[in-house]
C-alpha cells in the first residue's frame, strides 16, 4: 500500500538527517521534494500545495527542543498533516432513529460496490444488526447473482425482483425490511464504466424514493485522482455522506486517499483491503498516515490479534505449555488463529520496518495448508503423543496428507524443538505471557 509515496517521502525526509537546525533553506528543499512525491502519487495539485505550505509553516515555527532531532520533528509534522488531510478522526456510519437505516452504495462499475455491500452487511451483522442486501443493479444479471452469492456466504438475506425498475425494487425492499424486522437495508446500485446520464438519473431516482441515511460512494483507490473527479460528479447529484476507498491492498498511489476529502468535503468511512469478505476496516486516518510513512501499523496489528485471541483459551494454553502438554491439536488451533488474522504477509507488513525488510522475501501461505494437512492426517493418539509416530506411521501420514515423508519428518522435528523451547521458557522466567510460536515454523 502506497509503496511509491512512502519511498519518495522517506527520501525527502532523509534530507534532515544529521541536520541540527530547521532552516528556511533545508526546509524549502525538503518541501519541494515532498510536493513532487505527492504529485507523483497523483495527489490533487491544490491539496499538495496546501499540504506543503502547512507543513512548512509549522516546521519553521517549531523550535527544535530537547532530544528531538529535526528529522524526527519533521516526520511528526508530516504525519500529523497527513492525518488531517485524510479527515483527522475516524468517521462512523450514521443510523436512522426510525429503522430501517438505508445505506445506498454508488460508484462506477468494477470499483468494488457489490463486494463492499457484502462486507458491510457482514460487519454490521457482527455488531448485532440485521442487514438486508438489495440487488438494484438490474442491468447485469451476473450482478444480482454475485450479490446473492455474497449473501449466501454470510447467511445474510438478499432481496431481488425480476423487474426492470430499480426504484420499485428498492421501495419493495424497504417494505420487506419493515415486515421482517431487518434494521439495515444496503442497496447495491448499477455502475457504468464512465459516468453517464442514464445511470446518474437512476441512482438519483432511487435516492429520491428511499431517502438513504447514508449514501456512500465507492472509490477505486488504484485509479487515483480520476476517481476523485468521478466522486465529485456523483456528489453534485447525490449529496454523498461518505466515501469508501477500495483496493487499498493493491499498488495504490495515494492520490485518492489524500485528495478525496479536501476535494469533495465528505469523510472517508471505510477502507477495503482485498477481495475477501473480512477485509474491510473503518478508515483510520492516523493508521493510514503511519503506513504511508512506513511506521507500520501496530494499532491494527494489536487490534487484529485481540479480536482473534480468546483470553480463556490463552490461559489454558499457557497452562499446557507449563505442564509440557502442548500437543499437535493445540498447534493446529494456533495455526487457525494465525490464519484468521489474515495472510502472514499482511500481518508482517503491519510491523514497522518489516515491510521493507520483507520486500524480496516470498511467504507462502500455502505452506500453512501443508502443515495443517499433515496434522489432520494424524490419529488422535499421534497428535497427543508424537513419540509413537514411527516409520510406517510417517509413510501413512505423508500419503494421507498428500505430502512427502520428508515434509512429515521436518514437521515432527520442528515440533520437538518447539516443545523443548517451550519447556525452557516455562521453566525459566515463568512469564505470564505465552511464548510466541516461532514465526517460520514449518514454512
Ligand atoms: N484487490 C482488491 N480487489 C477488490 C476489492 N474490492 C473489490 N475487489 C474486486 O474488484 C472486482 C470488482 O468488484 P465488484 O464488487 O464486482 O465491483 P462493482 O462492479 O462496483 O460492483 C472484483 O473482482 C472484486 O473481487 C479490494 O478491496 N481489493
Ligand atoms: Mg456490482
Q: Which ligand is nearest to the CA of 275?
A: 1
Cis peptide preceding 400, ω within 30 of 0 = no
Domains of the chain listed by start with CATH number = 3-85 (1.20.120.140), 101-294 (3.40.50.300), 302-427 (1.10.260.30)
Sign of CA dihedral 219, 222, 228, 233: negative
Distance of CA 220 to the CA centre of its chain: 14
Quick: pLDDT tens for 211-269.
999 999 999 988 888 888 899 999 999 999 999 999 988 767 788 889 999 999 999 99
pLDDT higher for 209 or 140? 209
Whether 141 is in the pocket of ligand 1, judged by its Cβ within 6 Å, is no
Cα(136) to ligand 2 centroid in Å equals 9
Please state whether beta strands 131-135 and 158-159 pair in parallel, antiparallel, or not at all (unpaired).
parallel
Cα(257) to ligand 2 centroid in Å equals 22
**257 within 8 A of 82, measured Cβ to Cβ:** no
Q: Which ligand is nearest to the CA of 270?
A: 1
- Which residues lie below 8 Å from residue 286, measured CB to CB, with a gap of 6+? 83, 299
| Distance between CA atoms of residues 33 and 45, nearest Å | 14
Cα(274) to ligand 1 centroid in Å equals 8
CA nearest neighbour of 267 among 245, 241, 292, 249: 241
Residue 83 pLDDT greater than 70, yes or no: yes
Question: For the chain, what is the radius of gyration of the CA atoms?
Answer: 26
- Which residues lie below 8 Å from residue 312, measured CB to CB, with a gap of 6+? none
Any idea which of 152-166, 179-193, 294-308 has the lowest mean pLDDT? 294-308
Q: Return the residue whose CA atom lies nearest to atom 7 of ligand 1.
A: 112
Ligand 1 pocket test: pick from 106, 110, 112 the residue with the most ligand atoms within 8 Å of its Cβ.
112
Report pTM: 0.71
Q: Which ligand is nearest to the CA of 271?
A: 1
Whether 274 is in the pocket of ligand 1, judged by its Cβ within 6 Å, is yes
Q: Return the residue whose CA atom lies nearest to atom 12 of ligand 1.
A: 110
Cα(284) to ligand 2 centroid in Å equals 25
CA nearest neighbour of 19 among 79, 59, 49: 59
Q: Which atom of ligand 1 has the smallest separation from the CA of 279?
A: 27
Quick: pLDDT tens for 18-39.
777 777 887 888 889 899 989 9
Any idea which of 72-81, 95-104, 344-353 has the lowest mean pLDDT? 344-353
3-state secondary structure of 253: coil
Q: Which ligand is nearest to the CA of 246?
A: 1
Residue 279 pLDDT greater than 60, yes or no: yes
Whether 275 is in the pocket of ligand 1, judged by its Cβ within 6 Å, is yes
Q: Which atom of ligand 1 has the smallest separation from the CA of 250?
A: 1
Q: Which helix (H) or strand (E) holds 272?
A: strand 268-272
Amino acid at each position: 500500500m502506497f509503496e511509491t509515496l512512502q519511498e519518495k517521502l522517506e527520501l525527502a525526509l532523509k534530507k534532515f538527517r544529521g541536520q541540527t537546525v530547521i532552516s528556511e533553506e533545508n526546509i524549502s528543499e525538503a518541501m519541494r521534494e515532498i510536493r513532487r512525491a505527492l504529485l507523483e502519487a497523483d495527489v490533487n495539485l491544490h491539496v499538495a500545495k496546501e499540504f506543503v505550505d502547512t507543513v512548512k509553516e509549522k516546521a519553521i515555527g517549531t523550535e527544535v527542543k530537547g532530544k528531538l532531532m529535526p528529522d524526527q520533528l519533521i516526520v511528526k509534522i508530516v504525519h500529523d498533516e497527513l492525518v488531517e488531510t485524510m479527515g483527522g478522526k475516524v468517521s462512523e456510519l450514521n443510523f436512522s432513529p426510525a429503522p430501517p437505516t438505508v445505506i445506498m452504495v454508488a460508484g462506477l462499475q468494477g470499483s468494488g460496490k457489490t463486494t463492499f455491500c457484502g462486507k458491510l452487511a457482514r460487519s454490521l451483522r457482527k455488531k448485532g444488526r440485521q442487514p438486508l442486501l438489495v440487488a438494484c443493479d438490474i442491468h447485469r444479471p451476473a450482478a444480482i447473482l454475485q450479490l446473492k452469492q455474497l449473501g449466501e456466504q454470510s447467511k445474510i438475506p438478499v432481496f431481488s425482483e425480476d423487474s426492470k425498475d430499480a426504484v420499485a425494487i428498492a421501495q419493495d425492499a424497504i417494505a420487506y425490511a419493515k415486515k421482517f424486522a431487518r434494521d439495515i437495508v444496503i442497496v447495491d446500485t448499477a455502475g457504468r464504466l464512465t459516468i453517464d446520464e442514464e445511470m446518474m438519473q437512476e441512482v438519483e431516482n432511487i435516492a429520491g424514493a428511499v431517502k438513504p441515511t447514508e449514501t456512500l460512494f465507492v472509490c477505486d483507490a488504484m485509479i487515483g485522482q480520476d476517481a476523485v473527479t468521478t466522486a465529485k460528479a456523483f456528489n453534485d447529484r447525490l449529496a454523498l455522506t461518505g466515501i469508501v476507498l477500495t483496493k487499498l491492498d493493491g499498488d495504490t498511489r495515494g492520490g485518492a486517499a489524500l485528495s478525496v476529502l479536501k476535494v469533495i468535503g465528505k469523510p472517508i468511512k471505510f477502507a477495503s483491503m482485498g477481495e475477501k469478505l473480512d477485509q474491510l476496516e473503518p478508515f483510520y486516518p492516523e493508521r493510514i498516515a503511519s503506513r504511508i510513512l512506513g511506521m507500520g501499523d501496530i494499532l491494527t496489528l494489536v487490534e487484529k490479534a485481540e479480536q482473534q485471541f480468546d483470553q480463556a483459551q490463552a490461559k489454558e494454553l499457557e497452562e499446557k505449555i507449563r505442564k509440557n502438554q502442548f500437543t499437535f491439536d493445540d498447534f493446529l488451533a494456533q495455526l487457525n488463529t494465525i490464519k484468521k488474522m489474515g495472510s502472514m504477509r499482511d500481518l508482517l507488513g503491519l510491523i514497522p520496518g518489516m515491510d521493507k525488510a520483507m520486500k524480496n522475501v516470498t511467504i507462502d501461505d500455502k505452506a500453512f495448508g501443508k502443515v495443517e494437512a499433515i496434522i489432520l492426517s494424524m490419529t488422535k493418539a499421534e497428535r497427543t503423543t508424537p513419540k509413537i509416530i514411527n516409520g510406517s506411521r510417517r509413510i501413512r501420514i505423508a500419503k494421507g496428507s498428500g505430502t512427502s515423508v520428508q515434509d512429515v519428518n521436518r514437521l515432527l522435528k520442528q515440533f520437538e524443538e518447539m516443545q523443548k523451547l517451550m519447556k525452557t521458557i516455562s521453566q525459566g522466567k515463568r512469564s505470564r505471557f505465552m511464548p510466541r510460536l516461532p514465526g517460520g515454523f514449518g514454512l
